Amino acid sequence: MDKKENRRENECEEKNSNSEGSEQDKDYKTTLITLNVGGYLYITQKQTLTKYPDSFLEGIINGRIMCPCDADGHYFIDRDGLLFRHILNFLRNGELLLPEGFRENQLLAQEAEFFQLKVLSDAVKSRWEKEQLASRETTFLEITDSHDRSQGLRIFCNAPDFIAKIKSRIVLVSKSRLDGFPEEFSVSSNIIQFKYFIKSENGTRLVLKEDNTFVCTLETLKFEAIMTALKCGFRLLTSLDCSKGSIVHSDALHFIK
């Protein structure tokens, strides 16, 4: 047991020493390194980890910074293992590329600062500021009848991602109601335009036209919008047009969290 432990300690010491001039270091740029970051293992090349001089990872690889090793002799870094994926991708790509809907900007900025990657830290903070600015801007979705502009609905919210979600939900519901008749409506950036809206009594979900095709009623789409908003934690702030007396008959809905 003692011999095994000594061997691990020696391996760790060798990794932390900057042994220049050896034959093995001639293949420096293609040598693989395994990092244990918060319990997650990452395998990459030395040239990736040393891409930014004076960074924390470059310091470890070149022996400027001492780093403990785990039981298997891998460098162990006590940081967020899941977020390190984005740190490593930045080192590989040279730019900040995050998945759609990423919401951990503040945590990632802290990780970038720990790893002494100022370029990444600045990029994350810039992205964060843009998202906060966008979240303060009211966005909307317009649902219209191409033959009668007076028949329609506007949905307002200060959360762009929610507008996108409610739009996809309404499109999904519309397709299910109009199965086999996709020409009945078209979709653009902030507008869903129906070929026909047909008025119906409250509670009616579908309207049967003379040619036996189905069309969603405007009331159905309002109902879907309100239900989606409530499920996502939003509340109906007010009906922007209260002259008609009822939310169901209003021309606009305004949601806020």
* Percentage of residues in the chain having pLDDT higher than 90: 34
| pLDDT greater at residue 133 or residue 210 | 133
| pLDDT greater at residue 54 or residue 255 | 54
In a domain, 3, yes or no: no
Going by pLDDT thresholds of 50, 70 and 90, the confidence category of residue 155 is confident
pLDDT at 47: 93
My answer on whether 130 and 149 are in the same domain is no
In a domain, 146, yes or no: yes
Which long-range contacts (C-beta less than 8 Å, at least 24 apart) are formed by 159-164?
159/135, 159/234, 159/257, 160/134, 160/135, 161/101, 162/229, 162/232, 162/234, 162/255, 163/139, 163/190
Going by pLDDT thresholds of 50, 70 and 90, the confidence category of residue 17 is low
Instruction: Assign residue 43 the CATH number of its domain.
Output: 3.30.710.10
pLDDT at 253: 82
pLDDT at 101: 77
In a domain, 150, yes or no: yes
Number of domains in the chain: 2
pLDDT at residue 75 is higher than 70? yes
pLDDT at 98: 92
Q: Which residue in 236, 190, 181 sits closest to 214, CA to CA? A: 181
* Percentage of residues in the chain having pLDDT higher than 70: 66
In a domain, 223, yes or no: yes
* Cα 251 from Cα 244, distance rounded (Å): 9
| pLDDT greater at residue 111 or residue 19 | 111
In a domain, 42, yes or no: yes
In a domain, 128, yes or no: yes
My answer on whether 192 and 206 are in the same domain is yes
In a domain, 123, yes or no: yes
Per-residue pLDDT, averaged over 121-134, amounts to: 84
My answer on whether 156 and 130 are in the same domain is no
My answer on whether 96 and 199 are in the same domain is no
pLDDT at 165: 83
What's the pTM? 0.49
pLDDT at residue 61 is higher than 90? yes
My answer on whether 164 and 60 are in the same domain is no
Per-residue pLDDT, averaged over 165-170, amounts to: 81
| Chain mean pLDDT for the chain | 76
My answer on whether 99 and 148 are in the same domain is no
My answer on whether 29 and 100 are in the same domain is yes
pLDDT at residue 26 is higher than 80? no
**In terms of residue numbers, what domain contains 205?**
140-174+182-256
Per-residue pLDDT, averaged over 48-65, amounts to: 95
Per-residue pLDDT, averaged over 224-234, amounts to: 84
In a domain, 11, yes or no: no
My answer on whether 155 and 122 are in the same domain is no
pLDDT at 171: 78
My answer on whether 93 and 41 are in the same domain is yes
My answer on whether 119 and 168 are in the same domain is no
My answer on whether 157 and 247 are in the same domain is yes
Structure tokens at 47: 């040239």
**What one-character-per-residue DSSP string does the chain give?**
-HHHHHHHHHHHHHHHS--TT-SGGGGGGG-EEEEEETTEEEEEEHHHHTSSTTSHHHHHHTTSS---B-TTS-EEE-S-TTTHHHHHHHHHHSS----TT---HHHHHHHHHHTT-HHHHHHHHHHHHHHHHHHTS-EEEEEEETTEEEEEEEEEES-HHHHHHHHHHHHHHHHHHTTT-GGGEEE-SSEEEES------TT--EEE-TTS-EEE-HHHHHHHHHHHHHHTT-EEEEES-GGGSSGGG-SEEEEE-
pLDDT at 19: 44
32-49, pLDDT tens digit by residue? 999 999 999 999 999 999
My answer on whether 249 and 195 are in the same domain is yes
pLDDT at residue 79 is higher than 70? yes
| pLDDT greater at residue 123 or residue 231 | 123
